[in-house]
Structure formats: C-alpha cells, structure tokens
Amino acid sequence: MMMILRFSQILPFALLWIFSFSSHVDSFGVSIKPIHRINRVKCCWSAPTPTSSSSSSAAEASTGSTTPSFDPKYYSPPDQSVLSRNGDNSASRITLTRFLSQYVKDHPEFEDLENILLAVQMACKTISSLVSRSGLAYSIQNDDTDADNYNSDGRFYSMKRLDKLSTTVLKNALKFTGTVQMIVPEALETSEEPDQHQPGVLIAYDAHNLACLDPLDGSGNSDASICTGTVFGVFKRGNTVDFDEDSLLEAVLQPGNKMRAAGYCLYSSATVLVFTLGSSVYGFTLDPQIQEFVLTHDKLTIPKRGNVYSCNEANSEGWKNGWKEYLRNLKLGQGETKEKYALRYVGSMVGDIHRTLLYGGVFGYPSDRLHRPQGNLQLLYKSSPMAFVVHHAGGKAMDESGADLLDKRPERIHQKSPCFMGSPDDMEELKRYLTRLEGDNNSTQEQANTAAVTLRGPKPILATHTSTYDGVSGKIRGVTLKLAIDMNGAVADVSATVSERFTCEASLDMVHRLRRDCDAVLVGRSTVEADDCTLTVRRVPTTNPQPTRVVLDSSLQLDLQQYKIATDGLPTIIVHALKCNKDDDDDDETKNQYYSMKLHDEFSNVSLLGIVPTWDGSRSTISARTMIDLLRSEFDIHHILVEGGPRSALQFLQENVVDRAIVVQAPMTFKDGLPSNIDSITLQDAGLEEINNYKLDVDKVTCYSRPDLPWPSRLEEGNTSNKLESTVWP
C-alpha cells in the first residue's frame, strides 16, 4: 500500500514533466513555451563561465547520478570515449561554454563574440531537438482540418514550418543576449528577381559585429531523416555603419576573407558544432546525457588528399568542361594519384562538406547552364562561411574560374555562386582543369599568365601579329592535308577504328615519308587522346630532324603528363584559344593578340601558342591563317602536314589554305566516321584539283594540288614504286 501511495503521489508530477516537454515542440506548435529547457538556456547565458560547483554537477551528470533514471533493459549509456578523442570521461572534459570562457581570456579581442557564439550554441540544441522530432510530426495527420498542410502525395509541409521554428529559435536566442538585434529579409515571391529574398535568413548585429545566419540549411531533407545544418558567419561591423536597415544590409556584403568567425552545426546521428575564430578549427559534439557540447575535434585539419568527390551528377549535362573533365579522370583513375575516386553525395551541403572536412576529397556545386547558371548556393551565408572553415582547416575553396572563393564579394544578400572546396592537393589539381577551360571574363594577358602558371612556364608577353600569309607567292612552303576515307567517303574519326587497322602497310609507309619531308605534323586534341600518338618518323630511314608536333587544343584540356608527345623530349607546340568577348571581334588590338612561350621542368620540350580566336557569327575558332603565320614567324615552321580528323581538315579547307591533299581510300566501311563532304565543302571548293591517282597495295591514293603548284614528281600511272620517295617539296 505504501508503494502504491507513493507512486500515486509522484505520478501527476511525472505526467506534468512529460507534458511540458512535449508541448515545447509537439507537432511543431507555433508557440515555444519557456519551460524546463528554455529556462536552463537562460541560466547558461546569464552565467557563461562555469563554477566549480557546475563543473562537479556536470561530472555527476556524465556518470548518470543526476540524470533521469532509465530502464536498463532499454537504455545503455554511450561509451564516452567515442565522443572524446582523448577518451577523457572525467569532469575535465571541455564543454563549449568552458572553452569559450578560456579562449576569450587568452584572446581578449574576441570577447565581443562570446555572447553570439553562446546564443548560437543554445539555439542549436533546441533546433536539434526540433529536427529529431520532425519525423513524428510527418507521421501524424490529426484531422481533415489539416488537409491544407499536405500536398497531393500526402506529404506534410514540415519543411516550411521547421524553417520558421528554427528561425524563431535562433532569433530568440540572439535576442536573449540583450545585446544583439536582428533583421529578417522578407520573402518577396512576386519579385522580378526570384532570389532577391529568401525566408529564414537572419542578419544579426550588435555594437561590434554583423552576422549572417542560415537557421536550417537542407530542411527539405528533414522528413526523410537526412542530415540538416545551421550555418553562420560573423563580420566586423565597423564604426561608420548606421543602425538603419539599408546601411546594415549593405555593410554585411563583405567577402569571406573579412570574417572574424564562421561555423556550422550538423544535425545527424550526432549533433556536431564546428567553428573557427580565424585560426584553428574546433568541433564540439552534443552529449545527450548532459545536454552540453563537448570538445571532440581539437584543431581539426582536413587531409591533404581524399578519394571521394561529392556533387549532384544529375546536373552534369549543364556543367562546364573543366569540372566534367576533372570528374571523368577521377572516375577512371586517370587523375594525378591514379586512384579511382568514389562518389559520396547526401544532398545536404552541411553534411557533404562536413564529411569532406573529416576525410578529404572535393565538394562541388558548379553552375548548371540548363537550370542554375549562377549555381545553387548563396555566397554570403552558405558557401562563404563554409569556405572560411575549410580554409582554416588547411583546405581550399574556389569559384568556377579558379579564384579564391573568400575573395569574392557578394553584391546582394541572396546572390548565388558556383563553389568548390576540399583537400588542398585535390583543389590544386581541380584548379588546373578550371583555369585551362574557363576564364571568359579574364583579359587575354590574365589567361596567358594562368596558362603559364598551370603548365609551368614563365610569364608570357602578349604581342600583336600582322598577317603575311600567301600560299602561292612562296612566303610559306605549303600546307599538305592527308585524309583517310572508306568506300563510302567517310573520313576516319577518333571514334573509328585505329588507323593501323584501316590502312595497309604501304600506306603507313607513305605517311611516314610525308612526315619526314615536313617541318611539323598537326593534329587535334581528340587524336592525341584516342591514340596517344607520337607523330614521329619510324617506318622509313631519315636524316632529317623529327617534325615538330602541333596539337590544336583550344581549351587546354590535354593533361600533358598522360601523353607521349609531352613526355618524350621531342618538340611539341600546344595551340590554344585566348577567350575574348565576341563583341570585341572588331577590335584589331584585341583580335590580333597572341603569345608564345616554352614550358619548364619535365615539359621543357613543350611550347604554348595562345591566339585570340575569330567569331564567325555562331562560334569562335582559331584562324588557320593566323596559326600558319605564327608557326612560321615564332617557330620557323614552313611546311605543315595536317593529319587530324575531319574537324581539323574542315577548318583548313574552309579557309582555303591547303596547298596539297592526299586522300587514301581503304577497301572497307568504317563503323563510325564523318562524311568527307562535311558542311558540303569539297576539295574543289578549297581550290584544289585532282592531279594523280593510283593503287598503293589495296588502297587507292588520290593526289590534289593547287593549279599553280604542280606535283613535283608525276610518274606514269603504271609506275607506283617510289612514287613519293622522290618527292621534293618546293
């Protein structure tokens, strides 16, 4: 009876405690009552520095002596060593409040940040509880009166309600400091600029600081129990900023490198608060027993390299070439490490970057020209604070041009920007791809400088050329085009069978004789990537120097370390385009600019030739005439053998600069290939006439030349021996 009486006495109090806690966040009620946990939050703010008694009580809590009792059949206290790298389960475990108190004591200049960080800490505890209960709210459909809260699939609109609650919690936490005030940009759904305003973003300020906070990033994932996060960044306010809203909103538009502090809180299997005050990065994990953040990652450092990349590959069709090419090589194991990278993508920015911070690798959210041409992450309050943390953990962050993301100043509160961040070595490798392929807004000199740094060369000097091309007058010795076609007239493309398989041995010997008698052999980048060709003379004897290899690589996508033409020590020239605005096509000073330079180190045999392309109304191309001119003046190359595929051939034929052509027709049909009359151009249209044709083993050879440049050694039709060996080019 005594036992029953005592139980009946405590039962109402137990029910009251349970009800008061559940009413705090039940079904995401709009009102947040100042009950048990909120009162404790206020106490922590009023006395942030722990006393000896509070430390001892925390120690007792950690051992379970003061926490609510749990049935041991259903609950087992966690191994505290998991939460602390030092395995320290004593009262000396460092809580965030204690850490900040000591940090401010050692660094008085950060004293004005303590209240803000303590407020963020307490808000994150409550938001963590809200997020953990969001699944319960989704599963409960009260009655028909809540029908408007569901879409056609019955999905509860928990995202917006959770956003609003998280914003309210964070706003109240900052307000209770007594020193911080807030601005909440309003949502203007009818705005002509859709991203001008976004609900849930807070701009907080006090006498010394301006802070931008995203209360709950990834809230759309909460009903699926996927991780979410809170992001914040703090700037120096300055003495000249007025307290009116417009002045404050303008003052917060600063580049990330001006931040004093930044961090994020991850809500997942554990709640982890990671931040930096501009030096080291620290991580604190929320201990659910004592409801305190405890230090678990002291001076966190990102690995130099990882083996994981993180991005939404569903958007790959709209990506630019640099990022696409980089990922392709990572997946094939053709990057600098020769190791295949794995894809890990949660779809929550905070979760993906947190994993990257711990294990290394690359996180990327590039622009998508089809859907999100400006990217999808807001620069001010998402990517910049995360980049600040990654930077101080030893990593790097950049935009799509390869520039440091922290140097980028937002022009609007909700301005978006493509971003990449991760391990330093991985990011340096990525930068080489981005700077080779992008840079439309850079000056030609800046692009030349970037190419030099990327490919290990000296700083180039731009020059201006004047065309002197005249193929007939003898100022250059000529351009010879060699094509291989099948019985249907299709030109061998890189997607077709390898050249050795569709031309006979005699035809291959002929090609090597042509190489022997020229100054340079020209091909496109695709030919090099498909065949890893050397373009040297090997099948016939020669006393001439090996021809220079010229590779057309407009966007500098070729990874020199992967191909023989850059590593065999023989001379190679990479021709690429210096991008410029198409509106500047009439500017003679711009369109005639170029540079040439020789690379250093293991690529000392490689030279770069950068040329401003021409605009033909639909696309930009490197002028074949300009290229011939510069190869002659800069490299003393006069006779060029064009061995490229149909695209290279078309470029030279359309500009009417081919002096001779040799077409080898194989007795077969290519599975792939491009028509020889691509774009309806013929050799006759290019000013060439057929002057000879003959059989070469099983192949048929047809020779073309300009009328006033007769073939040097026309032999009788029946005589096919040494037909080209006796050729002497004019």
Examine the domain organization and report whether 176 and 51 are in the same domain: yes
Query: What number is the average pLDDT over the span 11-30?
Result: 40
**Domain of 363, in residue numbers:** 308-438
pLDDT band, very low/low/confident/very high, at 599 (cuts 50, 70, 90) = confident
Give strand pairing partners of 232: 213, 263
Of the listed ranges 111-115, 345-349, 386-390, 524-528, the least confidently predicted one is 524-528
User: Which of 49-63, 426-440, 691-705 is most confident?
Assistant: 691-705
Structure confidence at residue 669 (pLDDT): 58
622 within some domain: yes
Position 6 pLDDT exceeds 80: no
More confident of the two residues 648 and 210:
210
Structure confidence at residue 370 (pLDDT): 78
Residue pair 192/237 in contact by the 8 Å Cβ criterion: no
Residue carrying structure tokens 């660094």: 107
Examine the domain organization and report whether 484 and 431 are in the same domain: no
713 within some domain: no
Examine the domain organization and report whether 544 and 623 are in the same domain: yes
Sequence letter at residue 346: V
Distance between CA atoms of residues 162 and 494, nearest Å: 54
For 698-712, the three-class secondary structure string (H helix, E strand, C coil) is CEEEEEEECCCCCCC
Classify the phi-psi angles of 225: left when phi > 0, otherwise alpha if psi is within -120 to 50, otherwise beta: left
Q: Which residues of 285-319 are buried (b: 16+ CB within 10 A; e: fewer)?
A: bbbebbbbbbbbbeebebbebbbbbbbeeebeeeb
Strand, coil or helix: what is 95? strand
Structure confidence at residue 133 (pLDDT): 83
For residue 243, count other CB atoms closer than 10 A to its CB: 10
Examine the domain organization and report whether 169 and 245 are in the same domain: yes
User: Which of 251-260, 525-534, 600-609 is most confident?
Assistant: 251-260
- Compute the C-alpha angle 259/263/269, nearest 5°: 170
Question: What distance separates the 2 farthest-apart alpha carbons in the chain?
Answer: 127
Examine the domain organization and report whether 108 and 241 are in the same domain: yes
Sequence letter at residue 493: D
Strand, coil or helix: what is 543? coil
- What does the block give as tokens for 619? 């696309």
Structure confidence at residue 181 (pLDDT): 85
Sequence letter at residue 406: L
Examine the domain organization and report whether 179 and 239 are in the same domain: yes
Structure confidence at residue 452 (pLDDT): 52
20 within some domain: no
347 within some domain: yes
Helix 114-139 and helix 158-175, axial crossing angle in degrees, nearest 10: 150
| Alpha helices (H) along 604-708 | 624-635, 646-654
Residues 6+ apart with CB under 8 A from 195: 378, 412, 414, 415, 416
71 within some domain: no
Structure confidence at residue 579 (pLDDT): 64
Of the listed ranges 122-131, 177-186, 437-446, the least confidently predicted one is 437-446
Distance between CA atoms of residues 231 and 347, nearest Å: 16
Distance between CA atoms of residues 468 and 487, nearest Å: 39
- What does the block give as tokens for 550? 């010229």
More confident of the two residues 305 and 189:
305
Structure confidence at residue 371 (pLDDT): 82
Residue carrying structure tokens 């293991």: 602
Of the listed ranges 156-165, 216-225, 627-636, 645-654, the least confidently predicted one is 156-165
Distance between CA atoms of residues 226 and 134, nearest Å: 11
260 within some domain: yes
Query: What number is the average pLDDT over the span 286-290?
Result: 92
For residue 457, count other CB atoms closer than 10 A to its CB: 21
Phi, psi of 595 (to 5 degrees): -150, 155
Distance between CA atoms of residues 484 and 492, nearest Å: 6
| Alpha helices (H) along 227-359 | 245-251, 321-332, 349-359
SS3 content of the chain, % helix, strand, coil (to 5): 40, 20, 40
CATH label of the domain that carries residue 558: 3.40.430.10
Distance between CA atoms of residues 701 and 513, nearest Å: 14
Distance between CA atoms of residues 569 and 604, nearest Å: 8
Distance between CA atoms of residues 154 and 128, nearest Å: 25
User: Which of 4-8, 492-496, 563-567 is most confident?
Assistant: 563-567
Q: How many domains does the chain have?
A: 3
Q: How much of the chain exceeds pLDDT 70, in percent?
A: 65
Position 441 pLDDT exceeds 90: no
Nearest of 571, 493, 559, 501 to residue 532 by alpha carbon: 559
What DSSP element (H or E) covers 513? helix 505-516
Query: What number is the average pLDDT over the span 168-180?
Result: 89
pLDDT band, very low/low/confident/very high, at 156 (cuts 50, 70, 90) = very low
Examine the domain organization and report whether 388 and 500 are in the same domain: no
Examine the domain organization and report whether 393 and 496 are in the same domain: no
Distance between CA atoms of residues 452 and 440, nearest Å: 17
Examine the domain organization and report whether 286 and 380 are in the same domain: no
Examine the domain organization and report whether 286 and 420 are in the same domain: no
CATH label of the domain that carries residue 313: 3.40.190.80
Residue carrying structure tokens 């790298």: 85
CATH label of the domain that carries residue 250: 3.30.540.10
pLDDT band, very low/low/confident/very high, at 26 (cuts 50, 70, 90) = very low
How high does pLDDT run on average in the chain? 74
Distance between CA atoms of residues 251 and 211, nearest Å: 10
Strand, coil or helix: what is 152? coil
Listed residues 234, 263, 297: the one ending a domain? 297
> Rounded to 10 degrees, what is the CA torsion of 160, 165, 171, 172?
170
Nearest of 16, 15, 37 to residue 25 by alpha carbon: 37
What DSSP element (H or E) covers 168? helix 158-175
For residue 253, count other CB atoms closer than 10 A to its CB: 17
User: Which of 491-495, 586-590, 613-617, 676-680 is most confident?
Assistant: 613-617
Examine the domain organization and report whether 678 and 551 are in the same domain: yes
pLDDT band, very low/low/confident/very high, at 212 (cuts 50, 70, 90) = very high
Query: What number is the average pLDDT over the span 442-452?
Result: 51
17 within some domain: no
632 within some domain: yes
Give strand pairing partners of 387: none
More confident of the two residues 465 and 152:
465
Listed residues 371, 405, 438: the one ending a domain? 438
Structure confidence at residue 296 (pLDDT): 95
More confident of the two residues 25 and 332:
332
Examine the domain organization and report whether 660 and 555 are in the same domain: yes
Of the listed ranges 43-57, 104-118, 236-250, 531-545, the least confidently predicted one is 43-57
